[in-house]
Amino acid sequence: MRILVIEDEVKVANFIKKGLEEEHYAVDTAFDGEAGLYLSEINEYDLIVLDLMIPKINGLEVLRRIRGNKNNVPILVVTAKDTAEDIVKGLDSGCDDYLTKPFEFRVFLARVRALLRRERTDAEPVLKLADLILSPVTHKVTRGGKEIELTSKEYGLLEYFLRNPNKVLTRTMISEHVWDYRFDSMTNVVDVYVNYLRKKIDKGFEPKLIHTIRGVGYILSPDRP
């Protein structure tokens, strides 16, 4: 899943980004409202984390414009503005949850998970294809009952595949969802990580699930294209 963090304090933004990436999310950061609004318009996000006291365009205005663009992405406001009036104003402007600073990171992560679950109420409690199973809650991955250890990027890649089974995914689509917007899609990193993942979930198992679509990208399917 891909998250946008709009926060002008670089240390705080990097702290949030690092913590989210350790939980297998792809994270983009913006340090002012103008940049954050631009990224929200050109990319598709599963969640936006938004500070209110940011330069160029303040957080409430960013929030209003995102909603004005008919974008219903879940938005978690994280701010030092902690009065009842501030909280009411934020919720009335269109945010889905409001967390005041300072905060415990485990509480922040719980809020993130809750918003993502709410957005995917129709989703399966686990993601499954053939005998490959991934639990978004525990991050546990098994195939044929055998637990498979994955790195953060391998996990993010597999989750994206499992949320799009039997669909051809281009290298650009994969890089946009698993890496951040600074990723250079002209490198072969996507191919390298697909090969890493293939060795872990396909080697020694049948049927093979990851297939290369020459000149296009990859597909996760129990049937060879």
Same domain, 111 and 184: no
Same domain, 22 and 109: yes
Same domain, 51 and 97: yes
Inside any domain, residue 130: no
What pLDDT is recorded for position 7?
97
Same domain, 100 and 161: no
What pLDDT is recorded for position 182?
64
Same domain, 13 and 110: yes
Q: φ, ψ for residue 137 (rounded to 5)?
A: -80, -50
Number of domains in the chain: 2
**Residue 143, strand partner residues:** 132, 146
Inside any domain, residue 101: yes
Rounded to 5°, the CA angle 208-200-198 comes to 50
Nearest to 147 by CA among 130, 135, 159: 135
Instruction: Check pLDDT > 60 for residue 4.
Output: yes
**Mind listing the pLDDT tens digit for each residue in 154-209?**
999 999 999 999 999 998 888 888 876 566 666 789 999 999 999 999 999 999 99
Q: Is the dihedral of CA 8, 10, 12, 14 positive or negative?
A: positive
Residue reference for tokens 């669909």:
167
Token pair listed for 80? 């030092």
For residues 28-48, average pLDDT: 94
Same domain, 159 and 111: no
Contact 148, 200 (CB under 8 A): yes
Instruction: Check pLDDT > 80 for residue 30.
Output: yes
Domain finish residue from 119, 138, 163: 119
**Mind listing the pLDDT tens digit for each residue in 90-133?**
999 999 999 999 999 999 999 999 998 876 654 557 899 999 99
Inside any domain, residue 12: yes
What pLDDT is recorded for position 137?
75
**CATH code of 59's domain:** 3.40.50.2300
Inside any domain, residue 13: yes
Inside any domain, residue 183: yes
Same domain, 154 and 102: no
**How many residues are there in the chain?**
225
Contact 134, 127 (CB under 8 A): yes
For 71-105, the DSSP string reads: ----EEEEES--SHHHHHHHHHTT-SEEEESS--H
What is the domain extent for residue 23?
2-119
**Full-model pTM:** 0.66
Same domain, 79 and 6: yes
Confidence of residue 24 (pLDDT cuts 50, 70, 90): confident
Inside any domain, residue 125: no
